[in-house]
Chains A and B, each alone.
Chain A
Amino acid sequence: MRKLRFSRSQLCIPYAAFLILFVIAPLFVIVYYAFTNGQGQFTFSNFLNFFASTNTLGTLLYSFALAAVTTLVCLAIAYPTAYILARSGLKKKYVLLMLFVLPMWINFTLRITALKEILSLIEGNISAYPFLNSVIGMTYDFLPFMILPLYTSLLKLDNSLLEAAADLGADKFTVFLRVTLPLSVPGIISGMTMVLLPSMTNYVVLDMLYNSTYIMGSLIGSYFSAYDWNNGSLISLVLLVIILIVTLVTNRFSDKDAGARGAVL
């Protein structure tokens, strides 16, 4: 009995099939719906609706503001945490890291429900601070996604570079500013993308914490529940384009060569 042999291109077939079926085909469906009306005729009206309405633009702005604040808060919490975890000589740092990742193993609706009770205790009536609560909820939800990339990029950091900088007369602060920080830029960027983009659409957190203002995700859901696939698809498409732009811009930064060069120079 001879061995089964597959060429490389044959081995690609399952993956290609998967991609076509679950990535490419749905994209085409979204594009089709986005540029047709209910009767299946080609139209730009969904597109115009989106950009002519102050409501949808307001929602875009609100989602972006919420996501941006969440990302900054996450970064402010995650950077020192990751730095301590990665650079300090703590013996049990894996245990600590585990503690930060542990919440991810629990279903997030459960966590947000618990958070709601805690916030109710602290704030009294949580409906009075919808924006603040949403930021807290999102931060709670997405913090591990920020810590992990930062942790890995700080862990990889070459100690000899830090020693060299110190040898050449840089004090601790300068070493951090001129060597550690630039070298961790790829981690910062990937953490930011992983938090910014999902928090623009994660409306379950807002629903559960009683923020009655829509963000992009809830807007799409609202169109779908009125059987309006067309406007909903268009908004998904707009989000997709935003993601594409963000990824293109950030790709420049995650270019490790540039980061490393900046530090070494």
Chain B
Amino acid sequence: MKKFLSVFVSVLFACALPLTLAGCSESAETVVLRVCSWEEYIDLGDWDEGEIIDLESGDIFGKNSMVDDFTEWFNSKYDFKVKVEYSTFGTNEDLYNRLSLGDEYDLVCPSDYMIMKLLAEEKIQKYSPRFFEENDENHYDNFVSPYIKNMFENYGWDEYAACYMWGTTGLVYNPEKIENTADVSTWKILSDENYKRQVTIKDNVRDAYFATLGIINGEELKAGVGDGRRSELLNDTDNATIAKAEDVLKQIKENVYSFETDAGKSDMVTGKVLANYQWSGDAVYIMDEAESDDSETELWYSVPDECTNLWFDGWVMLKDGIGGNEQKQTAAEAFVNFLSRPDNAVRNMYYIGYTSAIAGDMVYDYMEWNYGAEEEAEETLEYDLSYFFGGERILTADAADFGRDGEKINRGRQLFAQYPPQNVIDRSVVMLDFGDKLGEINQMWINVRCLDLKDISPAVIGITAAVIGVIVIAVLLYAFRYKLFINYKPKKGYEKSDK
């Protein structure tokens, strides 16, 4: 026994020795950076030859994945090495639950309201002053859009979060099937009987609640309100408002084709539905898909007249993950910085369809390369992007790609979805975290989605109860049939068979 043990132990040690040695040598130089972001939210490389983006300022091509390119770039530039463990999450709530269950990440990319929640819980590590220093290497600080920068400063997030992607919410629709543009200019289409079972809504309480508030406050919002009042109306979590929203959502539930998390994209492309509540980035994806589909359908994106939810996803470092480790923080900041380099921002934008927070000449070139008017365009339109890119940036685009109500551009194709014009920005609202009211609003959502006993007619309940009762009684009678009916006493001289 002893001999066996000693052999066993020495074999174990022999196996473990190289491991520990390797572990030691690795931890001396290599920092493991644990990044967690949305699914399909970064360039995974492997582009086809024909996909090369040949801008005047240089060619852009995704050969390897962005993460690999970062690792290579970092390892050649810094005096220690980094290894990125990249994982993904499906919803902000999913990420938060994982964090509260003890998963540790160094760098995550949640949405605006989740950043607020994490910030309130003091879980976010501040970016170091280095990150904002003025030099050529700090791509984020050099190239982030002045509009985004200003927005983050207003909310007090600028030192804690670096914006990655941003966008609006609206309706993707098929202009051939919905000719009356007034129908897609309002969130009311979701509860419009004329489109019964032909529109979809997002299957999450925040987006549904936002559209519902847009419907409830439709008249006031359309009449034109100040920014403060608009934000107040669309962040209203008063109990009376929640009750009103519940009624509207119940109508919506009866009216829509589906509550979808992801399937709405393909349903829209295959023409199962006519309109689809969508985030702007996915809208771009859907429009691209529908065009390259066999049917070559042209879909449009419309931002309702009432309001649109302006959203941001930003990179934040977590205190629990970084744990005061200088090298880790350097690596995390370098990762964000690398993604913010304009050529990489273009790669990600091209790959995922969302709009990067990075402005700069190269991104603008890409916009022009992508959406600039062709020579054969019958009519062109001056599309003003100055608010985002800074300075005077007016892109000459094909007028046929936009739908106008008077002076205002309210609908359009990819460019409109990626960079909304000023008049859309004017009616946008950032939706804040529900805070303490989350429980009430979630209960409202559950009430909407659940079958309410009160809504079933008593006759149905009676019949169901009777059927269940009969079945239960029959089962019980059958189960106890020997005890109740069949007298089982053996005759004298016989013994019970199962003895």
Chain A residues with a Cβ under 8 A of chain B: 1-2, 4, 54-59, 61-62, 65, 120, 125, 127-128, 207-208, 210, 212-214, 218-219, 222-228, 249, 252-253, 257-258, 261
Q: Which residue of A lies closest to B498 (CB)?
A: A257
Known interface pairs A54-B452, A226-B439. Does A128 touch B446 (Cβ–Cβ under 8 Å)? no
Q: Which of B96, B438, B449 contacts A214 (CB 8 A)?
A: B449
Q: Which of B97, B258, B439, B454 contacts A210 (CB 8 A)?
A: B258
Known interface pairs A225-B91, A226-B438. Does A127 touch B464 (Cβ–Cβ under 8 Å)? no
Decide if B263 is an interface residue (CB 8 Å cutoff): yes
Chief secondary structure at chain B's binding surface: helix
Q: Which of A208, A210, A219 contacts B446 (CB 8 A)?
A: A219
Q: Which residue of B lies closest to A265 (CB)?
A: B486
Q: Which residue of A lies closest to B441 (CB)?
A: A226
Cβ contacts under 8 Å, B257 to chain A: 125, 127, 210
**Is B93 within 8 A of A252, CB to CB?**
no
Cβ contacts under 8 Å, B205 to chain A: 226
**Is A213 within 8 A of B451, CB to CB?**
yes
Cβ contacts under 8 Å, B453 to chain A: 54-55, 57-58, 61
Q: Which residue of A lies closest to B454 (CB)?
A: A54
**Is B456 within 8 A of A58, CB to CB?**
yes
Cβ contacts under 8 Å, A62 to chain B: 450-451
**Is B446 within 8 A of A55, CB to CB?**
yes
**Is B203 within 8 A of A222, CB to CB?**
no
Decide if B442 is an interface residue (CB 8 Å cutoff): yes
Cβ contacts under 8 Å, B260 to chain A: 210
**Is A227 within 8 A of B97, CB to CB?**
yes
**Is A227 within 8 A of B452, CB to CB?**
no
Known interface pairs A55-B452, A61-B453, A223-B442. Does A212 touch B4 (Cβ–Cβ under 8 Å)? no
Given contact pairs A212-B449, A213-B449, enumerate 6 new A-B contacts (beta carbons under 8 Å): A1-B4, A4-B4, A55-B452, A61-B456, A226-B205, A249-B479
User: Nearest chain B CB to A1's CB is how many angstroms away?
Assistant: 5
Decide if B445 is an interface residue (CB 8 Å cutoff): yes
Decide if B149 is an interface residue (CB 8 Å cutoff): no
Cβ contacts under 8 Å, B452 to chain A: 54-55, 58
Report how far A249 CA is from B94 CA in the complex, Å.
38
Report how far A4 CA is from B3 CA in the complex, Å.
12
Known interface pairs A127-B258, A218-B449, A249-B475. Does A207 touch B4 (Cβ–Cβ under 8 Å)? no
**Is A61 within 8 A of B464, CB to CB?**
yes
Decide if B272 is an interface residue (CB 8 Å cutoff): yes
User: Nearest chain B CB to A94's CB is how many angstroms away?
Assistant: 34
* 4 closest cross-chain pairs (CB), A and B: A210-B258, A226-B442, A54-B453, A58-B451
Known interface pairs A58-B456, A120-B272, A212-B259. Does A2 touch B1 (Cβ–Cβ under 8 Å)? yes
Decide if B100 is an interface residue (CB 8 Å cutoff): yes
Known interface pairs A54-B452, A127-B197, A224-B97. Does A1 touch B3 (Cβ–Cβ under 8 Å)? yes
Cβ contacts under 8 Å, B100 to chain A: 227
Cβ contacts under 8 Å, B258 to chain A: 127, 210, 212
Q: Which residue of A lies closest to B100 (CB)?
A: A227
Report how far A207 CA is from B205 CA in the complex, Å.
15
A-B CB contact pairs (8 Å), 30 listed: A2-B1, A4-B4, A54-B452, A55-B446, A56-B450, A57-B453, A58-B452, A125-B197, A125-B198, A125-B272, A127-B257, A128-B197, A210-B257, A212-B253, A212-B256, A212-B258, A213-B450, A214-B449, A214-B451, A219-B450, A224-B97, A225-B91, A225-B93, A225-B94, A225-B442, A226-B93, A227-B96, A227-B97, A261-B497, A261-B498
Interface residues of B in 239-258 (CB under 8 A from A): 253, 256-258
Report how far A213 CA is from B448 CA in the complex, Å.
8
User: Nearest chain A CB to B392's CB is how many angstroms away?
Assistant: 45
Q: Which residue of B lies closest to A2 (CB)?
A: B1
Report how far A210 CA is from B201 CA in the complex, Å.
11
Report how far A183 CA is from B453 CA in the complex, Å.
40
Cβ contacts under 8 Å, B438 to chain A: 226-227
Decide if B261 is an interface residue (CB 8 Å cutoff): yes
**Is B451 within 8 A of A59, CB to CB?**
yes
Known interface pairs A222-B445, A257-B498. Does A55 touch B3 (Cβ–Cβ under 8 Å)? no
Cβ contacts under 8 Å, A224 to chain B: 97
Report how far A60 CA is from B248 CA in the complex, Å.
24
Report how far A265 CA is from B99 CA in the complex, Å.
63
Known interface pairs A128-B197, A208-B263. Does A61 touch B451 (Cβ–Cβ under 8 Å)? yes
User: Nearest chain B CB to A28's CB is how many angstroms away?
Assistant: 17
Cβ contacts under 8 Å, A213 to chain B: 449-451
